[in-house]
Each structure stands twice: as structure tokens, then as C-alpha cells.
Amino acid sequence: MHLAYPAVLSALLFCTGVYGVLARRNAILVLMSVELMLNAVNLNLVAFDVWLSRAAEETLHSGQALTLFTIAIAAAEIGIGLAIVLAVHRNRGTSDIDKLRDTAEGHGPDDPDDPGDPAVPGGPDTDTPATGTAAEKAEATA
């Protein structure tokens, strides 16, 4: 078997994974796309290991050893990543990456621009509408 067949298949799998990471909004589908990219790398490592072992007299099978390390890292990554996604889904009610991005840019309780603060105009004890960055963000995401 030629080296070109697994290399082309690996390139197609990797490109499909990159497209999935860039185009998807669901965090679980992004994790699946990362796994697809890691599996493409594994296929490439094994294919080059077999191809190089035919050329060399001594076979070290270093590509297969690296593949085992990559599989172990991928298993840990999917376990931790899925736990994080499930925890965020329980707290926020969504796993949409675009909506979670606004969470990272949100204001903390110590921020003086927090509209929940009674001392800030637009807070809970005033009759004025909310002004500032929180209103702009709500308007921008709507």
C-alpha cells in the first residue's frame, strides 16, 4: 500500500475537524471536531511509522508509541472537556459558544459599572434605565 492513501485520508479528516472547530457553535461538536483532528494525526503517525519501518532495518515503532500517547491525551481531554461543558450547561442552560463568550466578558460583583449595584444609575433602586456597557451588550446581542 502506498503512503499517499493514508496521508490523503488523514488530510481530509484533519480539514474536516478544522472546519468543525471553526464553524460549529455547540461546544460538544467542537470537542468532537478536535477528536477528529487528533485521530487524523494518529493515522498519519501510524502510516509514516509503517512506511519508515520498511526502509529501516531496525524497527523502533516510535510512531505507534506516539499514537498511544496521543490517544491517552485525547481521552483525558474529552473527559475533562465534557465535564466542563456539562457544568456550564447546568449553570447557564446552554452550550452555545457564542452565548458563553458573553459570560467571559461579563461584569463581576466588585465592578463599579455593575447595574445591580444600587449606587450605579440604572441599578435596582432607581427609576432610570440601565446605561453603560451592560445595556450596549444586551442591545448588541439582540
Q: What is the pLDDT of residue 95?
A: 84
Distances (CA, A) of 39 to 7, 35, 119: 12, 6, 54
Q: In this structure, how many other beta carbons lie within 10 angstroms of the beta carbon of residue 10?
A: 21
In this prediction, residue 22 carries a pLDDT of 95
**DSSP structure string for 73-109:** HHHHHHHHHHHHHHHHHHHHS--BHHHHHHHHT---T
Return d(Cα 124, Cα 75) in angstroms, integer.
47
Q: Mind listing the pLDDT tens digit of every residue in the chain (142 residues)? A: 789 999 999 999 999 999 999 998 888 999 999 999 999 999 999 999 888 887 776 777 888 899 999 999 999 999 999 999 999 889 888 888 888 776 666 655 555 555 555 555 555 555 555 555 655 655 556 5
pLDDT of residue 52: 84
- Amino acid 99: pLDDT: 81
For residue 21, the model assigns a pLDDT of 94
Q: What is the pLDDT of residue 6?
A: 94
pTM: 0.66
What are the φ/ψ torsions at residue 96 (nearest 5 degrees)? -75, 125
Cβ burial 48-82 (10 Å sphere, 16+ → b, else e):
bbbeebeeeeeeeeebeeebeeeeeebeeebeebe
DSSP structure class, residue 128? S
